[in-house]
Amino acid sequence: MKKILANDGMEKEGIALLEKAGYIVITENAAQAELADVINENGYVALTVRSATKVNKAVIDKCPGLRLIARGGVGMDNIDVDYAKSKNIQVVNTPAASSLSVAELVFGHIFSMARLLDFSNKKMPENGQKEFAQLKKTCSKGIELNGKTLGIIGFGRIGQAVGKIGVSLGMRILAYDPYISDANLELDLPVNPKVKVNVKTTTLDEVLSHSDFISMHVPGGEVITAKEIKMMKKGVMLVNAARGGVINESDLIEGLNSGHIAHAALDVFTGEPAPKKEILSHPKISLSPHIGGSTEEAQQRIAVELAEKIIHFLQ
């Protein structure tokens, strides 16, 4: 029987599908330094990972029997994809499975920033009894999302999922993506026929200069620096649930301290898993520990999609 190492774990739904197809699935984690030896000693033909395990050139060179690397999630920056393919190892991921989870987290942060929930949740336990009236006055300066402009930089699956929620809340959508000219957003409403909204993408300058909120959904690179921040509306709110470093963190802090940026929300960080102290302690940053695609439902969808792709490619 063919053996598969799910080094960063796998939900039971995916394991059940693989076992039904005749595979043995092992979920015991191998340390990075021992990964190649464990794969070879146990004869694994496929390896599944999330973001924790790195599958670099050194690992690939040491594992001639490996036929498939499967990444649960969207990005594959922890896998040397081109090199794996050059060694006839198939590489797959699950780009659609976690889109909704990331999009809902983005709006969790947007609501938190718009209604000062992040601030009030920090201050109420400390000062709620003595300074209730003052906190109420401060936290009553929140804003509504209806009628505001949501800028989306990167309009692939996740960006479009964010756009669908924004449209449902009555927001105007400005999207930038150099590879996508427009997209039909089918709203997840319990009606028939389905409601569809066409969104045409625009320039990055347009998104930066006219958005009240900006959400990042690009695969990497430094997209937002002091130059781009200067182009934004005063009081803009930023969300990064894409990749650490997409927003230059030093420039972000300067923008927050100057008041040009009202609030920011980060789910991903430069130097992860050890974010900078000035980021973690900043009063105007809403924080989460890289959990965008990590919901129970998303993990189940990822496991099922991974299992189906593994079965397809190995058979």
**Which two three-digit tokens encode residue 84?**
């794996």
Question: Distance between alpha carbon 47 and the CA centroid of its chain, in Å?
Answer: 22
Question: Distance between alpha carbon 198 and the CA centroid of its chain, in Å?
Answer: 24
Q: Is 312 a catalytic residue?
A: no
- CB atoms under 10 Å from CB of 22, counted, come to 10
Q: Is 115 a catalytic residue?
A: no
Q: Alpha-carbon distance 306 to 296, whole Å?
A: 15
Residues 6+ apart with CB under 8 A from 87: 60, 61
List Cα–Cα distances, 165 to 73, 103, 275, in angstroms. 21, 8, 29
DSSP state of 129: T
CA distance between the termini of the chain = 12
Q: Which of 109, 157, 243, 282 is catalytic?
A: 243
Judge whether 53 and 9 are in contact, CB under 8 Å: no
Q: Alpha-carbon distance 166 to 25, whole Å?
A: 40
**Which two three-digit tokens encode residue 166?**
């924004």
Which of 37, 31, 17, 87 shows the shortest CA–CA distance to 57? 87
Q: Is 312 helix (H, G, I), strand (E, B) or coil?
A: helix
Judge whether 98 and 302 are in contact, CB under 8 Å: yes
Q: Alpha-carbon distance 29 to 38, whole Å?
A: 10
Q: Which of 144, 272, 278, 297 is catalytic?
A: 272
**Which two three-digit tokens encode residue 104?**
């809902």
Helix axes of 99-114 and 117-127: crossing angle, nearest 10 degrees: 60
Please give the positions annotated as active site.
243, 272, 290
